[in-house]
Chain A
Amino acid sequence: MGRYVIRRLLQMIPVFIGSTFLIFVMVYALGDPVAALFGDKAPDPATAARIRHELYLDQPLWKQYLHYMGQIFRGDFGTAFNGQKVTELLAGAYPVTLRLTLVAVVIELLVGITLGVVSGLRRGRSVDTSVLVLTLIVISVPTFVSGYVLQFLFGVKWDLIRPTVSPDAPFSELILPGVVLALVSLAYVTRLTRTSIAENVRADYVRTAVAKGLPRRRIITRHLLRNSLIPVVTFIGTDIGALMGGAIVTEKIFNIHGVGYQIYQGILRNNAPTVVGFVTILVIVFLLANLLVDLLYAVLDPRIRYA
Chain B
Amino acid sequence: MRGATHVKWAVCAVSVALAATACGGSSSGGDGAGIVRSSWGDPQNPIEPANTNEVQGGKVLDMVFRGLKRYDPKTGEAENMVAEKIDTTDQQNFTVTLKSGWTFSNGEKVTAKSFVDAWNYGAHVDNKQNNSPFFANIEGYDQVHPESGKATAKTMSGLVVKDARTFTVKLNEKFSTWPETLGYQAFVPLPQSFFEDHEGWLKKPVGNGPYTVESYTKGSSMKLRAWDGYKGPDKAQNGGVDLVVYTDNNTAYTDLMAGNLDLVDDVPAKQLKNVKADLGDRYINQPALIFQSVVFPMYDDRWNKPGMEKVRKGLSMAINREEITQQIYQGTRTPATDWTSPALREKGGYQEGLCGDACTYDPKRAKKLIEEGGGLPGGKVQFTSNVDTGSHRDWLDAVCNSINNALGKGAVCTVNPVGTFADFKNQMAGYKMTGPFRSGWQADYPLIQNFLQPLYATGGSSNYGKFENKEFDRLISEANKESDQAAAVAKFQDAEKILADQMPAIPLWYQNGSAGWSDLVSDVQLNQFSVPVYDQIKVS
Task: Name A's B-contacting residues (CB within 8 A).
Answer: 1-2, 5, 30-33, 35-47, 49-51, 54, 81-84, 88-89, 91-92, 94-95, 98-99, 102, 148, 151-152, 155-156, 159, 162-164, 166-168, 170, 251-257, 261, 265, 267-270, 285, 288-289, 291-292, 295-296, 298-299, 302
Contacts of A261 in B (CB 8 A): 247
* B440 interface residue per 8 A CB criterion: yes
Contact in complex: A50, B125 (CB < 8 Å): yes
Contact in complex: A257, B247 (CB < 8 Å): yes
B456 nearest CB across to chain A (Å) = 13
* B172 interface residue per 8 A CB criterion: no
* B89 interface residue per 8 A CB criterion: no
A43 nearest CB across to chain B (Å) = 6
| 4 nearest A-B residue pairs (beta carbon) | A36-B422, A83-B46, A167-B220, A35-B425
Contacts of B120 in A (CB 8 A): none
Known interface pairs A31-B422, A35-B422, A254-B251. Does A43 touch B20 (Cβ–Cβ under 8 Å)? no
* B164 interface residue per 8 A CB criterion: no
Contact in complex: A163, B254 (CB < 8 Å): yes
A1 nearest CB across to chain B (Å) = 6
Contacts of A45 in B (CB 8 A): 147-148
* Most chain B beta carbons < 10 A, residue from A43, A159, A162, A256: A43
Contacts of A148 in B (CB 8 A): 250
Known interface pairs A83-B218, A155-B254, A268-B421. Does A44 touch B5 (Cβ–Cβ under 8 Å)? no
Contacts of B248 in A (CB 8 A): 252-253, 255
Select from chain B the residue with minimum beta-carbon distance to A36.
B422
* B33 interface residue per 8 A CB criterion: no
Select one of B7, B25, B246 contacting A255, CB under 8 A: B246
B282 nearest CB across to chain A (Å) = 16
Contact in complex: B255, A163 (CB < 8 Å): yes
Select from chain B the residue with minimum beta-carbon distance to A296.
B10
A116 nearest CB across to chain B (Å) = 22
Contact in complex: B422, A32 (CB < 8 Å): yes
Contacts of B247 in A (CB 8 A): 251-252, 255-257, 261
Select one of B16, B22, B440 contacting A288, CB under 8 A: B16
Cα–Cα distance between A4 and B202 once the two chains are bound (Å): 49
Known interface pairs A163-B255, A270-B420. Does A302 touch B3 (Cβ–Cβ under 8 Å)? yes
A144 nearest CB across to chain B (Å) = 10
Contacts of A298 in B (CB 8 A): 6
Interface 9-residue window, one of B128-136, B395-403, B514-522: B128-136
Contact in complex: A270, B422 (CB < 8 Å): yes
Contacts of A51 in B (CB 8 A): 128
* B277 interface residue per 8 A CB criterion: no
* B217 interface residue per 8 A CB criterion: yes
Cα–Cα distance between A91 and B25 once the two chains are bound (Å): 11
Contact in complex: B251, A164 (CB < 8 Å): yes
Cα–Cα distance between A269 and B257 once the two chains are bound (Å): 30
Contacts of B388 in A (CB 8 A): 268
Select one of A31, A99, A256, A295 contacting B9, CB under 8 A: A295
Interface 9-residue window, one of B37-45, B71-79, B327-335, B492-500: B37-45
Task: Name B's A-contacting residues (CB within 8 A).
Answer: 2-3, 5-7, 9-10, 12-14, 16-18, 20-27, 42-46, 53-54, 125-126, 128-130, 132-133, 145-148, 202, 217-221, 244-248, 250-252, 254-255, 257-258, 260, 388, 419-423, 425-426, 428-429, 439-442, 454, 461-464
Cα–Cα distance between A32 and B111 once the two chains are bound (Å): 40
Return 16 A-B CB contacts under 8 Å, by A number: A2-B9, A5-B9, A36-B426, A42-B464, A47-B128, A50-B128, A51-B128, A92-B220, A95-B22, A155-B258, A156-B257, A156-B258, A163-B254, A163-B260, A257-B245, A295-B13
B116 nearest CB across to chain A (Å) = 21
B156 nearest CB across to chain A (Å) = 15
Given contacts A255-B246, A299-B10, 7 further A-B contacts (CB under 8 A): A30-B420, A38-B53, A38-B425, A50-B128, A51-B128, A83-B202, A268-B422
Query: What does DSSP make chain B's interface, helix, strand, loop or mixed?
Result: mixed
Contacts of A268 in B (CB 8 A): 388, 420-422
Select from chain A the residue with minimum beta-carbon distance to B48.
A83
Select one of B26, B44, B125, B461 contacting A168, CB under 8 A: B26
Contacts of A288 in B (CB 8 A): 13, 16-17
Contacts of A98 in B (CB 8 A): 18, 20-21
Contact in complex: A292, B17 (CB < 8 Å): yes
A63 nearest CB across to chain B (Å) = 21
Contact in complex: A99, B21 (CB < 8 Å): yes
Known interface pairs A5-B12, A81-B45, A84-B218. Does A94 touch B258 (Cβ–Cβ under 8 Å)? no
Contacts of A291 in B (CB 8 A): 13
Contact in complex: B422, A168 (CB < 8 Å): no
Contact in complex: A159, B258 (CB < 8 Å): yes
A264 nearest CB across to chain B (Å) = 8
Cα–Cα distance between A291 and B442 once the two chains are bound (Å): 52
Cα–Cα distance between A2 and B5 once the two chains are bound (Å): 10
Contact in complex: B461, A167 (CB < 8 Å): no
Contact in complex: A82, B251 (CB < 8 Å): no
Select from chain A the residue with minimum beta-carbon distance to B259.
A159
Contacts of A35 in B (CB 8 A): 422, 425-426, 428-429
Cα–Cα distance between A156 and B442 once the two chains are bound (Å): 35
Cα–Cα distance between A251 and B250 once the two chains are bound (Å): 12
Select one of B25, B26, B53 contacting A41, CB under 8 A: B53
Select from chain B the residue with minimum beta-carbon distance to A262.
B219
Contact in complex: A42, B27 (CB < 8 Å): no
Cα–Cα distance between A155 and B24 once the two chains are bound (Å): 24
Cα–Cα distance between A92 and B245 once the two chains are bound (Å): 14
Select from chain A the residue with minimum beta-carbon distance to B151.
A46
Select from chain B the residue with minimum beta-carbon distance to A44.
B133
Select from chain A the residue with minimum beta-carbon distance to B454.
A41
Contact in complex: B219, A82 (CB < 8 Å): yes
Contacts of A156 in B (CB 8 A): 254, 257-258
Contact in complex: A36, B425 (CB < 8 Å): yes
Select from chain A the residue with minimum beta-carbon distance to B422.
A36
Cα–Cα distance between A250 and B127 once the two chains are bound (Å): 39
Known interface pairs A31-B423, A42-B461. Does A295 touch B6 (Cβ–Cβ under 8 Å)? yes
Contact in complex: A1, B129 (CB < 8 Å): no
Contact in complex: B45, A37 (CB < 8 Å): yes
Contact in complex: B422, A30 (CB < 8 Å): yes
Cα–Cα distance between A293 and B423 once the two chains are bound (Å): 41
Contacts of A252 in B (CB 8 A): 247-248, 251
Contact in complex: A82, B42 (CB < 8 Å): yes
Contact in complex: A49, B148 (CB < 8 Å): yes
A206 nearest CB across to chain B (Å) = 20
Contact in complex: A1, B145 (CB < 8 Å): no
Select one of B20, B244, B260 contacting A94, CB under 8 A: B20
Known interface pairs A38-B130, A47-B130. Does A92 touch B219 (Cβ–Cβ under 8 Å)? yes
Known interface pairs A269-B422, A288-B16. Does A40 touch B462 (Cβ–Cβ under 8 Å)? yes
Contacts of A41 in B (CB 8 A): 53, 133, 454, 461-462
A164 nearest CB across to chain B (Å) = 5
Cα–Cα distance between A223 and B246 once the two chains are bound (Å): 49
Cα–Cα distance between A260 and B323 once the two chains are bound (Å): 37
Contact in complex: B254, A152 (CB < 8 Å): yes
Cα–Cα distance between A255 and B40 once the two chains are bound (Å): 12
Contact in complex: A89, B13 (CB < 8 Å): no
Known interface pairs A35-B425, A38-B53, A89-B219. Does A44 touch B9 (Cβ–Cβ under 8 Å)? no
Select from chain A the residue with minimum beta-carbon distance to B462.
A42
Select one of A39, A43, A152, A302 contacting B54, CB under 8 A: A39
Cα–Cα distance between A38 and B25 once the two chains are bound (Å): 34
Cα–Cα distance between A162 and B254 once the two chains are bound (Å): 10
